[in-house]
Each structure stands twice: as structure tokens, then as C-alpha cells.
Structure 1
Amino acid sequence: MRFIPLLLPAFLLSLAAPASAAGLDDPFATDALLPLKPSPMLAGRVGGAPCATDLPATALAAIDAVDLALCNNPQTREIWANSRAQAAQLGVAQSAWLPGLSARATGSRIFTEARDYNQNSAALTLSWLLFDFGQRSANVDYARQLLNAALATQDATVQTLFLAALQTYYTAQATQAAVFSASEAERAASEAFKAADSRYQVGAGTPADRLQAKTALAQATLNRIRAEGDARNAQGALANALGFDAQQKIVLAALPALAPETAFQKDVDALIAEARARRPDLKAAEAQFRAAEANVGYARALGRPTLSLATGPTWQDVGGVVTQGGNIGLTVNVPLFTGFQTTYSVHSAAAQADARAAQRDRLNAQIALDVWKAYQSLTTATQSLLTTTDLVASAEQSERVALGRYKAGVGTVLDLLTAQSALASARLQRIQATLDWNVYRASLAQAMGALDYTLLQGSAAVEGRP
């Protein structure tokens, strides 16, 4: 029987062998539960492209902007660190199933009237919690559900950053297109002024016509200057969102010619059901609720008995007399009364579970509204985009006719300026419709919980200016 304590440390080492094979840094392989850094969406890139930190050599496309925003934004590092911390907490909970091994050594010098002598002792103790009525199981389940919540929260945060990056990128594109539109309006106003001035010089036009044309040209110039300022601010905001200083020069790739899709036009009930199955924030809320339920079980188990094993060899040297031995024993701990601590701990944990359930149900209802609003916004943007195509085409034709009539002397300058103003307005509405369509398409994908790189891939359409 005395050899049993000596054999148990070897038994413990044999238990640790698989952990050594898996790696001492992570014996429970919790890192394998984590997604790619810094975003679970990076796996969606063609070829598994690495995380980007510098501007591409070519003009910046939307997919490049998202890469840079996700890789350089401190928030992605924060959520990645939170997920790693929660994965480590799962390892902490799992470690409670393994025995513990501790060593103790003491040494002292004893002084007496008869003689002085040394007294030394050492012991190696293995302790193992054998039975606990579900404490460890509940704690592991609690930690696992919190890890699931952290991973789902990471996914939701990534999609939020993804959408923000796209909004900033498309806003920069829209302001750049607005500069082009304002420059075209200024060129047209300049041509109208030259025509009015020519007619005035030969006596075919009135001073009022010339002044109206000059005023329109000054207004067009002012609009172009303001558009250029808005474009510079949008470029600075984009550079900041990508992790660079605001003065960083960024060349934007031309947007592809849009062919509005109608694939999203499905039964709204089906879209809402799909969103509830995919939304990472709802998954996080569900995991938080399940973690709270596990915490209720843990609180109940704290008031139940535990059974522990303790064993190990001992060694003692007292004045040169050496003795060796060992011990083995079982300990039963029965909490008889804790001042109602367990009772109130269970009440608190149950109330927290009810709160988590309410949060989950509230979010579940909010998802229906998110999908409905995003769906209607994209439907409106799609129809607007199709309509503004015809609007710009008719406004361009009207402006050409008005200019020709005015030069021919059969039209008024007011007709020309009105047509030019209508064309400038139509172009701006086309730019806004393009911005809305791109943003609302991404917003619907986020509302569905499906915003990733596939939204931006495979669209090798003919490039053109909106």
C-alpha cells in the first residue's frame, strides 16, 4: 500500500503526456476554436489573401478599402484579443478536471540545551477533485458559451466595420463624381456665357441675358469649388478609416457600370427567417443566455458536497534520523449552512438568465425591422437608379437642344439656363442614387448577417463613371 503514493506522480505525468504532445502553450487546443485574425471573413477572399497594411500599387477598389480598414482598425485587434481571452478562460475551466501536483519543502535549525540539530522535511502531494455534483461541468459549459458569444460578437463587429468602410469608400467615390459633375456644369455654363456674350457683342442679345449667363457661370464655379472641398474631406475621412493620416493621397478605382440586381427581391418573411438564422449578434445573445443558464447550474452545485483525493510521498530528516513515508486519503466536504449564500446566488443567476432571455427576444424582434427597412431602402434605391438613368439621358438631350436653339437665335437664355440646371440636378441625383444603391445593398447584407467579401467579388463589369 505504501508504494501507491510513489506511483501516482508517474500516473499524473502520463496524463500530462497528451497535453505535451498538443503543446504546453495550449494543451486544450483552445486556439483552434478561434477564427482567422483579425476577421472571420478573411477566409472569403480569393486565394486567402493575407492581411493588408499598405495601399495597393493600383487604384484603390472597394475590396482593398475593406481589407485595409479591417486590418488597421484598432477595434479589430480589440475584439480578437477579447476572443483569445475568452478561449483561455475555457482552458481554465477545463483544467479543473485534471489533478494538481504540488511540492513542499522546509528546513530549520533547532537549538536546545542538549544539542543543536537540523530538521528538514519534504512532501509531494497530488490532489484531485473526484466528484462535485456538476460544478465543473457547469463552469465549462459557461465558459464555452461565453466563447461562442465572443466569437459571434467578433463576427458582428467585423460586419459593422465592413459596412462602415464601404460607406466611407462609396462616399469618397460619390464626392469625386460630384466634382466631375460640377466641372461639367461649369463647362456648360461657360459655354452658355460665351454664347450670350457673343450675341451681346453683335447686338443680338440683351445685357440682361449676358448678366444672367455670367451669374449662372459664377454659381457653377462656386458649386465646383465646394464639391472639390467636399471631395478632399471625404478623401481624408477614407484615409483615416483605412488607418492612414488624412493627408494621404489615395487614387480611387473607377466604379463598374451598375446593373442593378433584383435577386434580393424575395419573400420578406423568408428574408427575415434567414436573417434570424444567420445574424451573429443574435447568436451572441443566444450564447449569453445559455451561459447564464449554465451559471444557474453552477450556483446550485456550489451548495452540494464534493469528494476529493489527496496522496503523495513524504520525507523527513530530524537530526540525522531520516524517515520516509506517504499518505492517501479522501475528503468529503458537505456545506451544511452558508448563511443562505447559495440560495441568493441561485436567485441572482436565475434573474440574470431572465434578463439575457429578454435581450435575446428584443433583438429577435429588432431583426425583422432591420431587414424590412434595409429591404425597402434597397428596393427604392434600385428603382431610383433605373429612373435616374433615363433622367440624365433626357436632361442631356434637353440641354443640347436648348443650347442649339439659343445659338440659333430662336431660344431664350432662360430656357438654356433652366435646361443646364436640370442637367446638373439630374447628374447629382444619379450620383446619390448610385451611392444609395451601393450602401443599401451592403446594409441589407449586414441585416441578413451575410456581409462578407463575396459581396464585392466576381463583378468584372465594364467600368464607367456614374
Structure 2
Amino acid sequence: MRNLGRFSLIALLALPAWAGSLDDPLATAELQPLKPSPRLLARVGEAPCATTLPDTPLTAVDAVDLMLCNHPQTREVWAAARAQAAQVGVARAGWLPTLSGSAGTTRFDYQNSAYTRDSAAITLSWLLYDFGQRSASVESAQQLLGAAAATQDVTVQTLFLNALQAYYAAQATRAAVASALQAERSAQESFQAAAARYQVGVATPADRLQAQTALSQATLNRIKAEGEARNALGTLANALGFAAQQRIVLADLPAVPATAAFQKEVDGLIAEAQARRPDLRAAEAQLKAAEASVELARAQGRPTISLGAGPTWQESAGVTQQGGSIGLTLNVPIFSGFETTYRVRSAAAQAEVRAAQRDRLRSQVALDVWKAYQSLTTATQSLQTTADLVASAEQSERVALGRYKAGVGTILDVLSAQAALASARLQRIQAQLDWNVYRATLAQSVGALDYTLLQAAAEGRP
């Protein structure tokens, strides 16, 4: 079998020149989307992925980076996109010839004589024409890759929003603790005033007891608020990929813009969402892939023309034979038990399913934008109203306490004013939380949730 070396050389020479990069000869790596984090448009390219908490207090940008770097879903969708990119390579490979080699040896014993037959062959096969089957296969694979990339964008934006929700919730509970501490100090001041008036005989025991009850309730509210804040920090740590007991120090939130209105009209936002939403792009790509599958099913029932060629070698009982063959093969499917008919019918029905899903999602996109826009509008209006509410409640509390200390007011007036102030502060905190979350939700519903949103907030822009 000394001629096998010659055949191996022929095989190596037959390999195309582009096969120098054997790990990815069809360059499918260029087709796959970038790694999810941190890659959003407002960030710097391929920055190192964050895996540890920063030394400085945690900002919203830090929270998003950690979520996208550490969450298993980002690895999952990126792996899925890379797998689909490889499927494009599989489809493209159908345009190229295949080269295969075979070798064998057989021992014969016949009437007290024995001999060995050795054989080897190299076969080149090339599908020359298939009436659109390979084109449809490549188109379907490319569209599914587009759907995988869009699905990755959907996941990134969902995790982005989840990170912001967890971060802003932790910020809100921290603000609630500060509000509870203020309420407790106010209640302490009221109790001291009531106790002082009681000692000089100008207040009743009921005043002192009511003030003591209000102070105890304020202390209890503060204790509960601190517990909720610890739970929120644990939830945030868990969402970012750390243990719940991981210590996290939050950075101060930037001030909410005084005129925090979203500048675009809702009709324009809906139109923008239908052009930008990655889940809608994914649905559109899946529809196109299904349409390509219909053409693929049709083409599978059509004739094919193939080229076959290759040398052969055989040695038997000391006699060596060498030869070769080349030829064209026309394969015409005549009857396949109506398999092609039902393949086409199934593929066409699947395309209708994808079209219906795309249309349903387009309608849902409009509803998502509408709800998010109205929620943000309400939160924006609530910001100013709660600011006025807190200001008036603070003034009312000061007046009521001053009147009581001067002996012209009642302890009930003081306690009522302090309760109203505590409620106003909590409503202000909720309004700020709602504004931050709904602003991010609207951006996500439009398909525009990225780091520019956080940069605008840091700069005091709506």
C-alpha cells in the first residue's frame, strides 16, 4: 500500500486554500453577536467584565455591569447565538465539495492457496445544482442567527431593567430608613415637650402617654424599615451574583430633574419601538426563516446534479491495478410517498404561525409603550406634587410643635402633623422610585435601554 502516500498528497492538494484556518474556515465567528457585557452602545467596546464589587460606592452603572457579567442567562444566550452561527457554517458547507478516502485489505484462502487483496480510493463529491435547496438552507440559518442575536438583545435589556429595579428598590429602602429616623427624632422631640409640660403641670398625663405611644410606634417603624433595607440589599447582592450577606454600600442617587418629562409623543415612541424592539426583530427573523423553510421543503423534492471523481488503487496476488473515475449523476425523485407534499404543507403552516406571532407581538409592543408612557407621565406629575406635599407637611409639623410648646396647641395636633409628614416623605420616596423605574421601563419597551439612560440621569437630564 505504498501508493497511499501518493493519494494522501493528492487529497491535501485538493483542499481549498481557505482551509488554512481550520478552526473556523467559513468565518462564522464574524457573524455572531458580541458578548453581551459590557457591550451596549454607550459603553467602551470590550471592557473587562466586572466580577467583583467596586471599591467605591455602588452606582446604577456598576449594578448593571455586574448583572450582565455574572448572570447565567447572558452566558446562555451568547452560547445559543454562537451555536446558531455555527449552523450557518453547516449550511454554507453544502456549497463545497466533499473529499473522502477509503482503504481495505482482504485475505483469501482457496484450495490450499492464499493471497491478499489491498485496495484504496479517494472520492471527490460535489453537488453542482439542487434547484435552490442549499440557498434556502443558508437563508434559513442566517435568519435564525439574526433571531438568536435579537433574542440576546432582549435578554440583555431584560437583565438591565432587572438590575435597575433591584438597585432602585434598595435605594428606596435606604431612603425609607432615613425618613423613619427623621420621624423617630420628631416623635422624640414631641415626647420631650409633652414630658416637660407634664412636669410643670400644664399638660395632662394623656398628652405624655400619647406622645410616648407615638415615639414607640416611630421606633418600631424605623426597626422595620432597617430590616426591609437589609433584605433589599441582600436581594440586590443575589441579583448581582454575590452571596446575600455580601456588604454593599450604595452611592447617592443623582437628583431627579425638576422638569422630568419624556419629550417624545407616544405615537412616535410606538413607531420607534416597532423599529427597534429586539423581540420584534427576532419574530421577524423567525418568520423569514420559516418562509425559507417552505422553499427548502419544495427544493428537497426536485432533481439534483452531482459530480463524482477520484483515483482508485488495488493490489491482488501481486498484481497492481490503478484507475480512476469521473462522472455526473442526475438524481430525479419520482415518487416519495407524498412526503414532499406534506413537508411543504407543514412548513407553510409553520410560517403562518410565525406570522401570527409577529403580529401579536407588534400589538403587544404598542400596549407596552402606552402603559410605560402613562406610568412615567403619572410618576413625573407625582414628583412635583409629592415635593409640594413634603414641604407643606414639614411646615405644618413645625407650626403644630411650636404651638404646642407655646401652650396654644394640643398634642393631637402635633402627632397628626408628624404622621402626615412621615406619610408625605414615604410618598415622595415612592414617587422617586416609580420615576426611576418607569423611566427605565419606557426605554426598555421602546428597545432603547442602554447606558445613555444612566448617563443622562447622572447629568441631571430627563
Which TM-score band (shorter chain)? over 0.9
Describe the superposition over 1:89-141 as per-residue Cα deviations: whole angstroms up to 9, x where unpaired. 11100001000000000012111125211110000000000000011000000
**Which 5+ residue runs of structure 2 have no aligned equivalent?**
1-5
Q: Is the 8 A contact 2:37 2:49 kept in 1?
A: no
Supply the distance in 2 between the matched residues of 1:47 and 1:428 (Cα, whole angstroms). 40
Provide the C-alpha distance between the structure 2 equivalents of 1:276 and 1:243, rounded to a whole number of angstroms.
33
- How far is 1:11 from its partner? 9.2
1:132 corresponding residue in structure 2: 130
For 1:273 and 1:116, how far apart are their aligned partners in 2?
A: 83
Q: How many angstroms apart in 1 are the aligned matches of 2:267 and 2:458?
A: 32
Counterpart for residue 331 of structure 1? 329
Out of 87, 91, 95, the position equivalent to 2:89 is: 91
C-alpha displacement of 1:47: 6.6
Tell me the residue number matched to 1:143: 141
Structure 2 residue aligned with 1:64: 62
Asked whether 1:384 is paired with 2:382, we answer yes
Counterpart for residue 3 of structure 1: none
Q: How far does the alpha carbon of each residue in 1:202-244 deviate from its partner, in whole angstroms, 9 at most, with x for none? A: 1010111111111111110111111111111111100000000
Residue 107 of structure 1 is matched in structure 2 by: 105
Q: Is the 8 A contact 2:33 2:81 kept in 1?
A: no
CA deviation string 1:390-412 (max 9, x = no partner): 11111111111111111111111
In the aligned structure 1, how far is the partner of 2:350 from the partner of 2:416?
A: 65
Greater shift after overlay, 53-62 or 113-122?
Answer: 113-122
Output one character per residue of 1:19-64: Cα deviation in whole Å (capped at 9) or x when no partner.
32xx211111111122221347445314753211100010000000
Match of 2:245 in 1: 247
- Matches of 2:349 and 2:380, distance apart in 1: 47
Q: In structure 2, what is the Cα distance between the partners aligned to 1:184 and 1:44?
A: 39
Distance (Å, rounded) in 2 between the aligned partners of 1:260 and 1:334: 74
Q: What is the match of residue 282 of structure 1?
A: 280
Other-structure match for 1:50: 48
The equivalent position to 1:75 in structure 2, one of 70, 73, 96, is 73
Distance, in Å, in 2 between the alignment partners of 1:277 and 1:253 is 35
The one-letter code matched in structure 1 to 2:403 is: R
Aligned counterpart, 1:17: 17
Contact 1:122/1:314 (<8 A) preserved: yes
- Unmatched runs of 5 consecutive residues or more in structure 1: 1-5
Residue by residue over 1:236-258, the C-alpha shift from the partner in whole angstroms, topping out at 9 and shown as x without a partner, is 10000000011111000010111
In 1: Cα distance, 2:399 partner to 2:306 partner: 96
C-alpha contact 1:196 1:209 (8 A) present in aligned 2: yes
**Greater CA deviation, 258-267 or 86-95?**
258-267
The aligned amino acid for 1:399 is: E
Give the equivalent residue in structure 1 for 2:186: 188
Q: Partner of 2:3 in structure 1? A: none
- Equivalenced residue count is 455
SS of 1:457's equivalent?
helix
Superposition pairs of residues 27-426 of structure 1, within 5 angstroms: 27-39=25-37, 41-46=39-44, 48-113=46-111, 115-262=113-260, 264-426=262-424
How big is the shift at 1:260? 4.7
Check whether the contact 1:40–1:155 (CA below 8 A) recurs between aligned residues.
no
CA distance in 2, matches of 1:459, 1:424: 27
Change (3 A) 1:48 1:25: closer
User: Helix, strand or coil: the match of 1:264?
Assistant: coil
SS at match of 1:121: strand
Deviation at 1:459, TM superposition (A): 4.3
- Write the letter of the residue equivalent to 1:203: G
* Amino acid corresponding to residue 419 of structure 1 in structure 2: A
**In the superposition, relative to structure 1, how do residues 82 and 119 fare at CA in structure 2: closer, same or farther (>3 Å)?**
same
Q: Is the 8 A contact 1:197 1:210 kept in 2?
A: yes
Alpha-carbon distance in 1 for matches of 2:154, 2:258: 27
Could you say if the C-alpha distance between residues 144 and 336 of structure 1 is closer, same or farther in structure 2, counting changes exceeding 3 Å?
Answer: same
Name the Cα RMSD after superposition.
1.8
User: TM-score w.r.t. structure 1 length?
Assistant: 0.94
Q: Deviations over 1:349-376 (max 9, x none)?
A: 0000000000000001111111110000
- SS in structure 1 opposite 2:84? helix
Q: Does the 8 A contact of 1:93 with 1:140 survive in 2?
A: yes
CA distance in 2, matches of 1:181, 1:28: 62
Alpha carbons 1:39, 1:155 under 8 Å: kept:
no
Q: Is the 8 A contact 2:397 2:414 kept in 1?
A: yes
SS of residue matched to 2:57:
coil
- Please list the CA deviations of residues 236-289 of structure 1 after superposition, one character each: whole Å capped at 9, or x if unmatched: 100000000111110000101111554523221111111100000000000000
Which amino acid counterpart does residue 19 of structure 1 have in structure 2?
Answer: A
Give the drift of 1:460.
4.1
Confirm or deny: 8 A CA contact 1:42 1:49 kept in the other structure.
no
- The separation in 2 between residues aligned to 1:290 and 1:432, in whole angstroms, is 45
**Following the alignment from structure 1 to structure 2, what is the Cα–Cα distance between the partners of residues 317 and 461?**
83
1:254 and 1:244 map into 2 onto residues whose CA distance is 21
What SS does structure 1 have at the residue aligned with 2:309?
A: strand
Give the counterpart letter for 2:407 in structure 1: G
